[in-house]
Amino acid sequence: DAGVTQSPTHLIKTRGQQVTLRCSPKSGHDTVSWYQQALGQGPQFIFQYYEEEERQRGNFPDRFSGHQFPNYSSELNVNALLLGDSALYLCASSPGPTANTGELFFGEGSRLTVL
Amino acid sequence: SQKIEQNSEALNIQEGKTATLTCNYTNYSPAYLQWYRQDPGRGPVFLLLIRENEKEKRKERLKVTFDTTLKQSLFHITASQPADSATYLCAPLYSGAGSYQLTFGKGTKLSVIP
């Protein structure tokens, strides 16, 4: 049973560029959340997708956008990259947005470096 | 806004001893509080969840307590082993905040010394 998979694992971009990160949720999960983790910090919630719609959003500018596909996979797009966008981007899946257990299954992350 | 504080950035402990990590939150109590383990360069891994109306939860060598009066959760690892060395994150989940919109602390880096 494959867990949450993310790609790419590492990437380097320059300021002003755009980046797309991809995530496939754990089998049986239909809800995907994205988190940003800067070095030495805890993960910060970006947004959550369920039924191909953004359901919740954290305190991130609209340079951060996403998409969910019919197969539940998801993309995170960041436009006009800033140096401060350098971070580990984590995708987490769950079996529905209102499941009782509440635990999240995280992927290994995509490490983005902006130069 | 909610503020999550984990007692220290780093904790060193001798193998075999009990490690105790602290998570403090401000304002109102979360409906749930979760603990995750994160190894360097890896995604967090869920360990335990405790509900607002539960005082204590155990899983093998792990124990979590939740004190809504003190606004604090304690995470214990008994008989610690070098393999327990990692960063431990607490993550309260507030009702009304939306499912799975976790607010993570910065984490405590635990080092278990052989």
What are chain A's domains?
A: 5-114 (2.60.40.10)
CB B41 within 8 A of CB A39: no
In a domain, B86, yes or no: no
B34, B46, B100 ranked by CB distance to A97: nearest:
B100
Q: Is residue B97 part of a domain?
A: yes
B35-73 pLDDT tens trace: 999 999 899 999 999 988 898 999 999 999 998 888 899
Alpha-carbon distance B43 to B101, whole Å? 16
pLDDT tens digit sequence for A28-43: 999 999 999 999 899 9
- Nearest Cα of chain B lies from the Cα of A81 at a distance, in angstroms, of 22
Residue found under tokens 């947005």: A97
Tell me the pLDDT band of B95, cut-offs 50, 70 and 90.
low
Residue B88 in any domain: the answer is no
- Mutation target vs B (from A104, A108, A111, A112; most B CBs, 10 A cutoff): A104
Question: Å from B5 to nearest chain A CA?
Answer: 11
- Is residue A100 scored above 80 in pLDDT? no
Inter-chain CB proximity B100 and A58 less than 8 Å: no
A34-48, A70-84, A97-111, B68-82: least confident range: A97-111
Asked if the bond preceding A8 is cis, omega within 30° of 0, the reply is: yes
Domain-embedded: residue B87:
no
The tokens describing A17, both together, are: 């560029």
Which residue has tokens 């970006």?
A46
Burial readout A37-73 (b: 16 or more C-beta within 10 A, e: otherwise)? beeeebbbbbbbbbeeeebbebeeeeebbbebeeebb
Q: Residue B66: inside a domain, yes or no?
A: yes
Residue A8, pLDDT above cutoff 90: yes
Q: How many domains does chain B have?
A: 1
Distance of alpha carbon A30 from the chain centroid: 14
Q: Which of B23, B24, B43 is nearest to B35 (CA)?
A: B23
* Gyration radius of chain A's alpha carbons: 13
Strands (E) in B19-104, as ranges, are 19-25, 32-38, 45-51, 56-59, 62-67, 72-77, 86-93
- Residue B52 belongs to what domain range? 4-81+93-113
